[in-house]
């Protein structure tokens, strides 16, 4: 594999979005097809959840396996180079996720994190989301 120049790597990283990612759009389409309606990226809520179901007091975060370090996924591993940069950066993402979910729970919201790799199996992902959205609050 060719080593990227710092300028090229920076350009690649700048193109990575935090909203409206492919996994998020996939999940939104599936959930909308089930008849559920939701709000997007409410910045008045901790962590700015990807999908918000206000009447149900539930939120869904769509996590990229790499960026949020999915421990059960091959893509959730820390890169082998520049550990001094990637280690703290990826740990901060995990800490921020935990803090946001904790804050939401204190405010009475129920949270679900859907991992990017889970969306490879639409049936299982839909089943999990339906179970979450259909469950009574409490």
Q: pLDDT of 61-84, one tens digit each? A: 999 898 888 888 877 777 778 888
106-122: average pLDDT: 95
User: Among the residues of 2-115, which ranges form H helices?
Assistant: 6-14, 22-33, 83-106
Q: Which fold has domain 19-25+33-134?
A: Endonuclease; Chain A (3.40.960)
Specify the pTM.
Answer: 0.82
What is the C-alpha separation between 99 and 104, in angstroms, rounded? 9
Using a pLDDT cut of 90, give the percent of the chain over it.
59
CA angle 71, 118, 134 (to 5 degrees): 115
User: For the chain, which residues make up each domain, given as ranges?
Assistant: 19-25+33-134
């Amino acid at each position: 594999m060719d080593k990227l120049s710092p300028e090229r790597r920076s350009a690649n990283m700048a193109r990575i979005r935090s909203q409206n990612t492919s996994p998020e759009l996939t999940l939104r389409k599936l959930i909308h097809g089930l008849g559920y309606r939701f709000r997007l990226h409410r910045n008045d809520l901790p962590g700015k959840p990807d999908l918000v179901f206000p009447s149900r007091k539930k939120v869904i975060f769509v996590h990229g396996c790499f960026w949020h370090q999915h421990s059960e996924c091959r893509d959730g591993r820390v890169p082998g180079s520049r550990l001094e940069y990637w280690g703290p950066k990826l740990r901060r993402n995990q800490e921020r996720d935990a803090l946001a979910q904790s804050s939401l729970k204190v405010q009475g919201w129920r949270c679900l994190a859907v991992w990017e790799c889970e969306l490879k199996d639409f049936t299982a992902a839909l089943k999990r989301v339906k179970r979450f959205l259909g469950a009574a609050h409490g």
